[in-house]
Amino acid sequence: MADSNFIDYVKIYCASGNGGAGSTHLRRAKYVPKGGPDGGDGGRGGHIILRANPQFWTLIHLKYRKHIKAEHGGAGSGQLCKGKNGEDIYLDVPVGTVAKDAETGEMLFELMEPWEERILVKGGRGGLGNNNFKSATNQTPRYSQPGEPGEEGWFILELKVLADVGLVGFPNAGKSTLLAAVSAAKPKIANYPFTTLEPNLGIVSYYEDQSFVMADIPGIIEGAHLGKGIGLRFLRHIERNSILLFMIPSDSEDPAQDYSVLLNELKEYNPELLVKGRVLAVSKSDLLDEKSKAELESRLPAEVPHIFFSALTGENIQQLKDLLWKVLHDENK
């Protein structure tokens, strides 16, 4: 993956700005030798803010930007002049980005809406100038507040791909071939396992200028939820898909067992994934005759809608899109 432009995980150090100190100043003028306090407040330290930019699809722009520090707030001054606020730093990230504390692993927030903004590290408050502390019994306070320190720490940003339909299957099940057949996406395709090492997105055109987004997730193997293969790294992308299209190749020795293994990997990773709508598609159906299809169909789980298709010959491609559209809109009702 060294030459890949798709980066879905970065670890960055962020430090917000310190607040500026308040001013301890007494008004002095030619005819006012003993004026009252007029020290201004310090400025706020700069925040570091994450912003969900729908034009971004990867975190590669943050891969080599490991240390990010915001500007400190300016100190207050006389004549009630407030210090300048530190400039905020905006980090644009793709929609679907999750921010976590790197030390504890705690999820801080996730950005789900375009142009949504969340403060990752908050700038320190500026200190109050001595003007704030005057009273009837203390008319010339000679003290003020220092600014508050900013926040700092290591954070993890993870991207979870947003798509309507997520392709789930073992390596070399034909997921990339299907995506290339129904969209303009051009994923790498070859006849060996783990061809896909990163998620690929494609827009599938439907009737009357309607469309939906399909994501080709790298292949899952048994034990992926434990970190085997590359499954653990990419299972999180399945969380953001509205429905799941399970793909089993027609030359599988036991389609029902394959489906069961895939389903169990999702369950072990996150049981909530089982709530999503599902479709089961048997790929490479051009290798089967009608008798073989009937025999194979009898071994498929009855509770899940299924279809046979061939991306190579185009068999049932439109029917597959019809089925996905129906299940997708049933889920969204």
- Decide the pairing of beta strands 163-169 and 211-216: parallel
2 and 121 co-located in one domain:
yes
Query: Is pLDDT at 224 greater than 50 in this prediction?
Result: no
- Beta strand pairing status for 152-159 and 9-15? antiparallel
Confidence band (pLDDT; 50, 70, 90) for 6?
low
Say whether both 290 and 255 belong to one domain: yes
Question: What's the CATH code of the domain at 209?
Answer: 3.40.50.300
Residue 192: per-residue pLDDT: 43
**What is the share, in percent, of the chain residues with pLDDT greater than 90?**
43
Is the CB of residue 156 less than 8 Å from the CB of residue 81? no
pTM of the model: 0.70
Tell me which of 144, 159, 174 is where a domain ends.
159
Residues, the chain, total? 333
Answer yes or no: do 225 and 246 share one domain.
yes
Residues 9 and 126 placed together within one structural domain of the fold = yes
Residue 46 shares a structural domain with residue 194: no
End-to-end CA distance of the chain: 39
Question: Do 263 and 249 share a structural domain?
Answer: yes
Residues 172 and 219 in one domain: yes
Q: Which of these, 208, 115, 111, 114, lies nearest to 160 by C-alpha position? A: 111
Q: What is the domain-level CATH number for residue 96?
A: 2.70.210.12
Note whether 11 and 61 are same-domain residues: yes
- Work out the pLDDT band at 246, boundaries 50, 70, 90: very high
Q: Which residues contact 15 (CB under 8 A, 6 or more apart)?
A: 48, 67, 68, 69, 70, 121, 150, 151, 152
pLDDT of residue 223: 56
Looking at the structure, do residues 242 and 144 belong to the same domain, yes or no?
no
Which 3 state secondary structure label does DSSP give 329? helix
Same domain, 194 and 317: yes
- By the 10 Å C-beta count (0-12 exposed, 13-18 middle, 19+ buried), 4 is classed as exposed
Q: Which structural domain, as residue segments, surrounds residue 287?
A: 163-331
Q: Which of 159, 188, 223 is where one domain is finished?
A: 159
Q: Poorest-confidence range of 70-74, 120-124, 135-139, 227-231?
A: 227-231
Q: Name the band, by pLDDT with cuts 50, 70 and 90, for residue 265.
A: confident
Read off the tokens for 126.
Answer: 């500026």
Q: Pick from 132, 159, 186: which residue ends a domain?
A: 159
DSSP labels, 75-121: PPBTTTBPPPPPPPEEEEE-TTEEEEETTT--EEEEE-STT-EEEEE
* Four-point Cα dihedral 263, 304, 315, 161, nearest 10: -50
What are the backbone angles phi and psi of residue 72, rounded to the nearest 5°?
A: -75, 155
DSSP state of 326: H
Cβ contact 49:90 at 8 Å: yes
Domain count, the chain: 2
Listed in sequence order, the DSSP H helices in the chain are 175-182, 231-238, 255-269, 290-297, 317-331
Contacts of 191 (CB under 8 A, 6+ apart): 172
Indicate if 20 and 138 belong to the same structural domain. yes
